[in-house]
Amino acid sequence: MQAADITCVILAGGRGSRMGGVDKGLQHFNGIPLALHALKRIQAQVANVMINANRNLAEYESFGVPVWPDAASMGEFAGPLAGFMTGLVQCKTPYLLTVPCDTPRFPHDLAERMADAFSRQSADFAVASAPEEDGQTRAQPVFCLMGTHMLDSLNNFTCSGGRKIDVWTAQHKVAHVPFNLPGDDAQAFFNANTLAELKFLQSRQP
């Protein structure tokens, strides 16, 4: 698998309820919107990038990549799997990588390491795993690489009421990709769910 085979969808379609209802992807990190920061970080790693957003679409479109709202079949603000669905429907490459807009320090070699594990393990999904604040390494299911042929599986899962990423991926073969190696940023997968967490993350620059 090469970078040319991968499209990334940046997930910015949530309600931002833990940020007081603001559009999370448009909150600033280091002076630029979170979603634009994610775009700049992932653009060199993949062939194409799109953004999944459900409001302020014109502002997202100003970043210069396609912007798609959640699939109508899942309703409004249906969670990250709605963004997965949108990405799979719109993807023009064989593989789709998902990243959230609220984790601005994800690795510069994210796509490469995910693709390597996916291929070596002949997996259906590659999911990042990283240390959290308690020191435990856990799966980060919104950082997920999959083949676009998984659209039918996701349709079946969501039509039966499923909404959790890890419950869906567990039905298939998953390659867990560790990002806890020497030299890895211990806060690479720290996600800012609140404005206070976003401010904290900015204060802890490497």
pLDDT tens across 148-202, in order?
999 999 999 998 888 899 999 999 999 999 999 999 988 899 888 777 787 777 7
Question: Phi and psi at residue 87, in whole multiples of 5°?
Answer: -60, -45
pLDDT tens across 34-47, in order?
999 999 999 999 99
- Count CB-CB contacts under 10 A for residue 159: 10
First to last CA, the chain: 31
Range of the domain at 31: 3-203
pLDDT band at 125 (very low <50, low <70, confident <90, very high): very high
pLDDT tens across 63-113, in order?
999 999 997 666 665 689 999 999 999 999 999 999 999 999 999 999 999
Q: What average pLDDT does range 142-148 have in this prediction?
A: 97
Say what the pTM is.
0.93
Could you say which DSSP state residue 151 is in? H
CATH of the domain at 83: 3.90.550.10
Q: How many domains does the chain have?
A: 1
